[in-house]
Amino acid sequence: MNDSMEQKMKMRHLLCAAMLAFSACIPAIAAEPVEAHLTVAKEVAGPRIEPEIYGHFVEHLGTGVYGGLWVGPESEIPNTRGWRNDVIEALRRIEVPVIRWPGGCFADDYDWRDGIGDPAKRPVRLNRWWGRVPESNRVGTHEFMDLVELLDSEAYIAANMGSMSPMDTSRWLEYMTSDSDSTLAKERRRNGRERPWRVKYVGVGNESWGCGGNMRPEYQADLHNRYATYLHDTLRVASGDGQRDDHLVEVLMERSGAHMDAFTLHYYTIAGEWEDKGPATGFGLDRWAKGLESALGIEERIVAVSGIMDKYDPDKRIALYVDEWGTWHDPAPGSNPGFLQQQNTLRDALVAAVSFNAFHRHTERVKMANIAQMVNVLQAMALTDGPRMALTPTYHVFDMYKPFRGATPLKATLETPRWREGDIELPAVDASVARTADGRVVLALANLDPRRSARVRTNLSGAVQGRILTADAIDAHNTFARPDVLVPTPYSAGGEGEALTLELPAKSIVVVDLPR
Ligand code: AHR
């Protein structure tokens, strides 16, 4: 450690000591870093990392649409045809490959006809799932597809299997995608859209075991087949597991495998129990450990679901879409509990990093993942309050991981020490390595240990450049007043011809690029 680094460490300790009184600041232990070893092989570990793994989910829930993304064309908040410019610009920077909409639970209560035509004449409905607030239907199909186009994204429509008929869904699809002179295509033109839209994915219901109709898997399988029969020229996505229900996976794969292109998994990270999720900020090391333990569990579930899928689909024709994932904390104090609003901290950033690493390790099945949700809801990219916006640490992880999109995962062996908090023991380091289309090696490393830094020795050599996301406080987060508390900063390691060793501060994420 050189003098200036030592000075910086001392300053951090002093600052941390001062901050301890107010927040969950965990001073790094000044001891030697723990040692980890990463051996990267030349062989590929699986098919490419589909960009859709960095997909999003937008639901009519709280301020996820209204306020967070949509302010309306008449708003004083700068907007493009109603979509707020600050959020759109930020989302364009992280390149949104696919957006799932309109739910969630909302999807199985949604009548697409409510959201087309003259906005002034659209019916107001009650959003029965989320706060029982009025749903103006001001954002409907045309507005959503405009958002998809503004973000150069793909549409993933979650269709209503719970409370509408297969004909409703097939007509919605015809309305959106037909180039003909059918009555529905003409209606779309009259409503302002000449060219048909492309709808690449259609979800057949959502959580059919719960808010999507409380169905038995056997009943859902029959219903899925019936609905899927009327879906043409789109990828048919079956509503899948969200409750560790292996029986459901078996039944759907066995009875409906022939009628689906993808099967879904919902997995939420909870730093406690469902009834006691714990706060989004101001938590202790117990909840830090619990949250990361829960996040790491996503891989076990992917493996379990994929294993069952393999039985019925050994050629892996059917993809696994993790189309809802992310943290679910207690609602922000003072907020409407039905709005699922929560802050987003360094812990959420690490959850995102280990989730991406897990997706990268299972690209033979996992072809899409959609974080819940895009803005203001659960593990969001951005938080807004009137005209103000703050990007979250999770947003920055999406940004840092951009080089992984379309890259091919490489085989790697990681030997990592473990750390313990109470009765939870977890690995310190988690890693992902991939080769980009132009031959660079990208490496992501996360140090989950809240106290100790890690030194990662590798079999690679050379100088790397990249970015690091870290902070002193385990609940460091960005606010409207201080939006830059947690932002990535430049990181470099190694030198020409030298063996590459990377130093990871406690609770940090590093993504670097190794030139070829
Ligand atoms: O993302 C919030 C809710 O979580 C979704 O509406 C539902 O599908 C899931 O239970």
- Which stretch of 10-24, 118-132, 230-244, 369-383 has the lowest confidence by average pLDDT? 10-24
**33-45+410-514 CATH:** 2.60.40.1180
Burial 168-202 (b: 16+ CB within 10 A, else e): bbbbbbbbbbbeeeeebbeebeeeebeebbebebb
pTM reported for the whole predicted model: 0.94
What's the confidence (pLDDT) of residue 514? 87
What's the confidence (pLDDT) of residue 297? 98
Instruction: Cite the residue boundaries of each domain of the chain with CATH code 3.20.20.80.
Output: 51-406
Q: With CA atoms as reference, report the closest residue to 209 among 237, 253, 242.
A: 242
3-state SS, residue 222: helix
DSSP code of residue 331: P
Amino acid at residue number 272: G
Using the predicted structure, report yes or no on whether residue 5 has a pLDDT greater than 50: no
Phi, psi values for residue 320, rounded to 5°: -105, 120
Cβ-contact 135, 65 below 8 angstroms: no
- Which stretch of 14-18, 266-270, 314-318 has the lowest confidence by average pLDDT? 14-18
Determine if ligand 1 sits within 6 Å of the CB of residue 109.
Answer: no
Instruction: Cite the residue boundaries of each domain of the chain with CATH code 2.60.40.1180.
Output: 33-45+410-514
Q: With CA atoms as reference, report the closest residue to 190 among 97, 113, 278, 118.
A: 118
Phi, psi values for residue 19, rounded to 5°: -75, -25
Amino acid at residue number 296: L
**H/E segment holding residue 302:** helix 285-312
Query: Two tokens at 401?
Result: 């991981």
Give the atom of ligand 1 at the shortest distance from the alpha carbon of 340.
2
Tokens 């993809």 found at:
319
What's the confidence (pLDDT) of residue 349? 98
Of the chain, the percentage scoring pLDDT greater than 90 comes to: 93
3-state SS, residue 363: coil
Tokens 């809801």 found at:
377
User: Which residue is closest in CA terms to ligand 1's atom 6?
Assistant: 104
Angle at 351 between CA 347 and CA 352, to 5 degrees: 120
| Residue 188 bridge partners (DSSP) | none
Determine if ligand 1 sits within 6 Å of the CB of residue 104.
Answer: yes
Residues acting as catalytic residues: 207, 324
3-state SS, residue 481: coil
Distances (CA, A) of 184 to 108, 175, 194: 22, 5, 12
What's the confidence (pLDDT) of residue 515? 74
What's the confidence (pLDDT) of residue 21? 35
Q: What would the pLDDT profile of 480-498 be if each residue is shown by its tens digit?
A: 999 999 999 999 999 988 9
Phi, psi values for residue 292, rounded to 5°: -75, -35
CB contact set of 367 (below 8 Å; sequence gap of 6+): 50, 52, 53, 262, 319, 320, 321
CA of 74 to the centre of ligand 1 (A): 31
3-state SS, residue 367: strand
User: Which residue is closest in CA terms to ligand 1's atom 3?
Assistant: 104
3-state SS, residue 257: helix
Q: What would the pLDDT profile of 147-205 be if each residue is shown by its tens digit?
A: 999 999 999 999 999 999 999 999 999 999 999 999 999 999 999 999 999 999 999 99
CA of 179 to the centre of ligand 1 (A): 34
CATH 3.20.20.80 correct for 51-406: yes
Cβ-contact 382, 87 below 8 angstroms: yes
Determine if ligand 1 sits within 6 Å of the CB of residue 154.
Answer: no
